[in-house]
Structure 1
Amino acid sequence: MGEDKEESPKKKLRQDDPPASAASLFTDDLILEILSRLPARSVHRFKCVSRHWRDLIADPVNRKKLPQTLAGFLYNGYKSGAAWSRHFASVSGRGFPVDPSLPFIPNKYKHIVLEDTCNGLLLCACYKTPATIKDEYRYVVCNPATGRWIELPPPPQPLANRFHSTTRLAFDPAVSSHFHVLQFWQTSLVMEIYARGVDIFSSQTGAWIHRDGGLLEKITLFRSTRSVFFAGMLHLVGRLNPVNTDKESALVVLVLVDMEGKAWKTIRLPLGSSFETVGLSQGCLYYAGSTNTYFYNNNSKKNRVLSTTKITLWCLENYDSGEWVLKHSASIDEPLDRTWVDCTVFAIHPDCDTVFLVPTRGEMLACDMQHQKFVHILNLEKDNVLIYLPYIPLFSEALADADE
């Protein structure tokens, strides 16, 4: 009995107390230091350890030290008369609030069109007059979480040709506070559109460079699909056009380009999908696609249309050989009131095997591919442009050469 009374309090705590009590032995600084080294998905799970941990992780001051996950999607709205609007769709309703009006950008810009996002930064095309094809614009790169922004100098090509280009943002805060903007110019030749050059802006040099050649004369880039900045190269979805049309067929590929426009490569994508998107998830490059099939229900008095959509999720397990491995597949079988409704997979969650899709205009769904579960996220604004830019908050103040 005497030995029980003299037992060390710490030893008794380790044996009898729940993990939440044991976690209370850590100081707040030590907890934040540990959490800052974990993936965002793990950080969110640790909110369940205790109320104190939950409040510590949710504290806005501590967000700057912790990894962030997907907050939602930014997208453009369009109405007649070239009037553009901007919107934010939260995927959870509890994420970091984003003001899509971007109030920190100067009032001299009357119209702002969202172009691309990459690891917390946002690329915009800003107009001083109502946005039309012939109006000039300037690119602005900003951080919505901090309000810092930078205006880019005009690219080498005429600004009026913007609608014949594909522009993407490349940024990795784990490597550098500097970013790159790549503008691929395309031209029409024999009823086909081919990329003919790329202009690359570096925030480190503050200047654009122009590059020709490489694989560009054989590539048609898909403007509506996402790009990924990974391993120092930008990855875009495109079509590799055959040189000899009698013997070869076009291939859907990933087009890889480095930040100097000197190294080019293609990786063949899995076959059989009508719509494609790529994303960086769980540290690997992923690809998701969907195939839509439509047929009439002859047994229905209304002769309704049935749709079957198959979604596939692939992982690039061998980056050097370009080997894709099928991780999950899921099917949607749903009767439709319209005769033609596409289901488009447009994004992949960065922390889990979840894809986001739009089966009809005005809706957004999330599909947990591992558990075959579909969840309705929200209704989107009407007359939206069907390009949704994933947004992950970046609380770092660093933005090379940014204006206050």
Structure 2
Amino acid sequence: MEEAEKGEVFERNTKPWLDSHPGETSDAAGVFTDDIILEILSRLPARSVHRFKCVSVPGRDLITDPANRKKLPQALAGFLYMSFRSVHHHHFASVSGGAAPFDPSVPYLQPNKYKDMEQVDACNGLLLYRGCTKNLPPWDWKEDDCRFVVCNPATGSWVELPPQPQLQEPVKGRSRVAGLAFDPTVSSHFHVLRFEEADSSSVTGVSIYSSRTGAWSHRDRAMAEEVTLSYSTRCIFAGGVLYLMGSLQSTNNDHVLLAVDMAGKVWKTISVPYPRRFAMIGSSQGCLHYAIASVSDNNNILVSKIELWCLKDCDSKEWVLKHTASIDKIMGMTMKNYRVIGIHPDCNTIFLVPCGGHTLLPYDMQHQKVGCILNLEKNSTQRFLPYVPLFSESLADANGR
């Protein structure tokens, strides 16, 4: 049974007693104490928890209590993204209809030290930034002038990572792609992986920062295949493995999924559906998902559609097609082409941005419905980072407030 189904079963079974006597919490507590309910809710997907708030006043109060909030999974709040005018400007697109849950410019991250900061990655409530100490455009940033910073904006805690040790030949190369790996259900510690590339652009190895050790380590590429990473790729952490999109040089640059474990010892390439087309990966319902726009010929009529696939596990490398949806109707209404920029962490909703446009459009793949369209800032970058609040006080090695 999928997580979403478990949530629906719980809602059906608990709604009668909350609904029938919403004021008689003491009687209900005789059957289900608050501790038992919280324990059950903590094991459900965030979407079910937030739907449960609508069942009754006692249920809402139980979930929104600050003392309980830390124990429960949180829903997607929105997407972080940037625009660029001389320096990076940081924005937040709220999918809940409310205001941004924090100042997206995160002003507490040493503003006197960093002249500019760029958003790099987000993972389970933590954010990864790269800060530059000099007034330079991003394309002129040098390694010696930059530092990585990991923060939890829900609590205001942050940690600046130490500089990476300089690599020696022949492993020395450039680095464009970095990712954050963090699972609060497993540990309060996190990893940052920064991939090194040779002059030919193929991956040669990875530098790994562990908050447990407080130090960087290096691992050479542990596979024979040569993979070139896409600069626009997002790193996705799921099931203890970091995934990112690349191109396999031995197959005329077909797209593949590159998977690396947190020790940098296990490297795998995974074939993907439609290896010649651009796709978006994301973590949803505990599994890696893959959304791709494709065009099919239906009786000589070109039909635009989006497919949502799920990777069963890293070992089997098997993909399962979950949903297919036509976007011809959406394209017909707006006269624009769309690209997928994100996948909802708790349900089968994808997020679309029109090419050359400035709106964010949620699309429920399962029910074929368009959600509330959000306006975006002009001159936005291509990267959108999903943000789910984490109210845990602990951030391993935090040296900020």
Superposition TM-score tier, normalisation by shorter sequence: 0.7 to 0.9
What is the SS of the residue equivalent to 2:327? strand
After TM superposition, give the deviation of residue 332 of structure 1 in Å: 1.5
Q: CA deviation at 1:186?
A: 2.1
In structure 2, do the counterparts of structure 1 residues 280 and 206 end up closer, same or farther at CA, with 3 Å as the change threshold? same
Partner of 2:3: none
Percentage identity across paired residues of the two chains: 54
Alpha carbons 1:116, 1:123 under 8 Å: kept: yes
Give, in whole Å, the separation in 1 of the partners of 2:389 and 2:253: 38
Q: 1:380 maps to which residue? A: 376
The answer to whether the 8 A contact 1:41-1:69 is kept is yes
2:148 maps to which of 134, 139, 161: 139
Contact residue 197 and residue 216 of structure 1 kept, 8 A: no
1:71 and 1:90 in contact (8 A); partners too: yes
Task: Normalising by structure 2, report the TM-score.
Answer: 0.83
Deviation at 1:266, TM superposition (A): 1.4
Q: Is 1:275 matched up with 2:270?
A: no
The 1:63–1:307 alpha-carbon spacing in structure 2 relative to 1, beyond 3 Å, is: farther
Q: Distance in 2 between matches of 1:373 and 1:349?
A: 14
Alignment check: 8 A CA contact 1:309 1:343 kept: no
Q: Distance in 2 between matches of 1:35 and 1:42?
A: 8
Q: Which residue identity does 1:212 align to in structure 2?
A: D
Q: Name 2:292's counterpart in structure 1.
A: 289
Q: Is residue 229 of structure 2 the alignment partner of residue 221 of structure 1? A: yes
- Note the alpha carbon deviations across 1:43-88, whole angstroms, 9 max, x for none: 1121122122223323344321211121111111101x3x111011
Which blocks of at least 5 consecutive residues in structure 1 are unaligned? Answer: 1-13, 243-247, 294-305
8 Å Cα contact 2:255/2:276 also seen in 1: no
Contact 1:275 1:291 in 2 (8 A): no
Q: Quote the residue 1:177 is aligned against.
A: 188
- Specify the alignment match of 2:305 in structure 1: 310
Q: How does 1:306-385 map to 2 (within 5 A)?
A: 309-333=304-328, 334-335=331-332, 342-360=337-355, 361-385=357-381
What whole-Å deviation, never above 9, does each CA across 1:352-382 have from its counterpart, x for those lacking one?
1111111232111111001111224301111
- Hey, what's the Cα distance between the residues in 2 that align with 1:36 and 1:48? 17
Kindly provide the amino acid, as one letter, of the partner of residue 389 in structure 2: P
The Cα shift of 1:216 comes to 7.5
RMSD, aligned α-carbons: 2.9
Range with greater deviation from structure 2 (66-75 or 216-225) = 216-225
Q: Which region of structure 1 is more displaced relative to structure 2, 56-65 or 319-328?
A: 56-65
DSSP 3-state at the match of 1:52: helix
Q: Give the TM-score normalised by structure 1.
A: 0.82
1:392 aligned residue: 388
2-structure distance, mates of 1:95, 1:60:
19
Give CA-to-partner distance per residue, 1:275-330, whole Å, 9 cap, x none: 2122221222211111369xxxxxxxxxxxx9963110011235432111111111
State whether residues 239 and 252 of structure 1, in contact with CA within 8 Å, keep that contact through their aligned partners in structure 2.
yes
Task: Please point out which of 252, 255, 264 is paired with 2:255.
Answer: 252
Q: Is the 8 A contact 1:156 1:210 kept in 2?
A: no
Distance change >3 Å, CA 316–CA 337, structure 1 → 2 = closer
State how far apart, in whole Å, the 2-side matches of 1:19 and 1:43 are: 20
Say whether residues 1:62 and 2:68 are aligned partners: yes
Write the distance in 2 (CA, Å) between the matches of 1:376 and 1:216: 46
Aligned length: 366
Which residue of structure 2 aligns with residue 5 of structure 1?
Answer: none
What is the CA–CA distance in structure 2 between the aligned matches of 1:349 and 1:336, rounded to whole Å? Answer: 24
Q: Aligned to 1:401, which of 392, 397, 400? A: 397
Q: Deviations over 1:104-153 (max 9, x none)?
A: 21222221111001111100011222243144111101101001111111
Q: Is the alpha carbon distance of 1:350 and 1:134 closer, same or farther for their aligned partners in structure 2, counting shifts above 3 Å?
A: closer
C-alpha contact 1:76 1:384 (8 A) present in aligned 2: yes
Mapped partners of 2:351, 2:174: distance in 1: 27
Q: CA deviation at 1:163?
A: 7.6
Contact 2:305 2:326 in 1 (8 A): yes
Match of 2:162 among 128, 153, 167: 153
Rounded to whole Å, the distance in 2 between the matches of 1:376 and 1:130 is 38
Give the structure 1 partner of residue 214 of structure 2.
206
Report the equivalent of 2:108: 104
Distance 2:44 2:21 in 1: 19
> 2:243 and 2:207 mapped to 1: Cα distance?
16
Q: Partner of 2:373: helix, strand, or coil?
A: strand
Matched, 1:88 2:92: yes
- With 56-65 and 383-392 compared, the bigger mean Cα shift is at 56-65
Gaps of 5+ in 2: 1-15
The Cα shift of 1:35 comes to 2.2
Cα distance per residue 1:202-233 (max 9 Å; x no partner): 11111111222323761011232322212222
Give the aligned residue type for 2:194: Q
One-letter amino acid of the structure 1 residue matched with residue 161 of structure 2: L
Instruction: Note the C-alpha offset of 1:96.
Output: 6.8
For the residue of structure 2 that corresponds to 1:400, the secondary structure is coil
Q: Indicate conservation of the 8 Å contact 2:74/2:390, yes or no.
A: yes
Residues 344 and 357, structure 1, Cα contact 8 Å, conserved in 2: yes
Task: Give 3-state SS (helix, strand or coil) of 2:381's partner.
Answer: strand
Q: Distance in 1 between matches of 2:237 and 2:71?
A: 23
The CA distance in 1 between the partners of 2:320 and 2:151, in whole Å, is 36
Equivalent-residue separation in structure 1 for 2:25 and 2:268 (angstroms): 49
Change (3 A) 1:178 1:311: same
Q: Describe the SS at the equivalent of 1:55.
A: helix
8 A Cα contact 1:156 1:199, kept in partner: no
